Amino acid sequence: MRSLTQLADELASHRTTSRALVESCLDRIRAPNGEGARVFLKVHADQALAAADYHDRLRKASGSVSRYAGIPVSIKDLFDVSGDVTTAGSKLLRGESSATRDAVSVARLRAAGFIPIGRTNMTEFAFSGLGLNPHYDTPANPHDRKARHIPGGSSSGAAVSVSDEMAYVGLGTDTGGSCRIPAAMCGLVGFKPTARRVPLQGAYPLSSSLDSIGPIAQTVHCCAIVDAVLAAETSDALPAVSLAGLRFAVPQSLVLEDVDDIVGRAFAHTLSAISGAGARVVEVALKELLELPQINRKGGLSPAEAYAFHRNRADTRGSEYDPRVLSRILRGKEQNAADYLNLLEARADLIRRVTAVTSEFDAVLMPTTPIVAPLISALKEDDAYWRANTLVLRNPSIINFLDGCSISIPCQDSGDLPVGLMISGAHGTDRRLLSIAGEIEKLSRSRR
């Protein structure tokens, strides 16, 4: 699949057209044996073709268009799109009023010339890392598709739309790993920016303290291009960086527990390659992470904030929720105001203490998830579902809680199911982190 840079070059040199790109994506969405019906809850075919023709005419007439004008992107069903009902992967919201304006992130993509091609499926209300949706079905992971592994979530459709070339970027959200988990499991790149880097207006909330908006794409540079658009930066250029001499921390507490053989092997090989490039990879105890289960013993920030938002609807229409999602929302009942304020204080204290340890490093490295994508059929029983959900959310959610930025890049050994390497940085170091990730991506690609 071509990168955004390659597509932009082909559009600028008239080797392709926006209409050709949109038609190709629509063909894949409509493929009889494809995943399109599970990936997209709504397809904007007519609007996308009209926008493509507009960008093609403008580019042909003057050439003075945005470099990325005319490239199709998918939009997670969590975002307002003018004229659409935002259902957040739920059947509860289908009778709500249509949005009267785009979410800020969608509006910024349009202003840069990207074309929203449709709304993608997701875990209901974004409250799971597995990507299962009992209301609209679940798109299968692109790898070993006949077996039907989970895509990861909650931005499940966003990832599969990119892996199956139904769009060239997927706009997603990440509250506890919802961009990074599906990217890791589908062999893509998923970026979680510092939470307040991209405005949340027009995105259906899960946890106001933890929600962030980011892209899923084929490469780190593709994510960097879209991140600059979403953050309203004037340039998508990244600072130059060399791995030689950089210092990376590898936590030894919590994040390496229950790692399966495929993930463990790929992680070890990737760390060896990074060391071989002249970087220093340092094992750090970081025992502070062992405090997280106790800090979040009453569910943590997401259930508390989700319950505050869903309380009235959950009380009156609870039977219409995915019961697994509802059970997580209702955990918010366990916290009173004092519990919630104490949780915020504990979070601030943990950020301070972890930062004191990690500030001497350029980034922190860990597996994105400790397991590869399980089969959808293996998660029918609640015990298996909850164990898998807890495992896949564990590592990514640490970075959301610490208010950092983070990216997952593919690092699996050849022939294995996808594995993600998670590279994380401190609050506000997003562009430098993307530069570092781009260099590690080169190593990982050459190793594979």
Nearest to 80 by CA among 48, 135, 42: 42
The yes-or-no answer on residue 359 being catalytic is no
The β-bridge partners of 215 are 171
The yes-or-no answer on residue 64 being catalytic is no
Q: Provide the 8-state DSSP code for 193.
A: -
Nearest to 361 by CA among 255, 254, 433: 433
CB 28 within 8 A of CB 36: yes
The yes-or-no answer on residue 178 being catalytic is yes
CA distance 275 to 384: 37
CA distance 153 to 30: 23
Nearest to 386 by CA among 328, 300, 334, 335: 328
CA distance 217 to 167: 9
In the set 128, 178, 209, 435, the catalytic residue is 178
Decide the pairing of beta strands 405-410 and 280-284.
unpaired
CA distance 91 to 16: 39
The β-bridge partners of 16 are none
CA distance 281 to 259: 19
In the set 74, 105, 128, 154, the catalytic residue is 154
Residue 237's CB: how many other CB atoms inside 10 A?
A: 12
Which runs of consecutive H residues, i.e. helices, occur in 174-322?
A: 180-186, 220-230, 261-276, 292-295, 301-317
Which residues fall within 8 angstroms of residue 244, CB to CB, at 6 or more apart?
277, 278, 279
- Which are the catalytic amino acids? 76, 154, 178
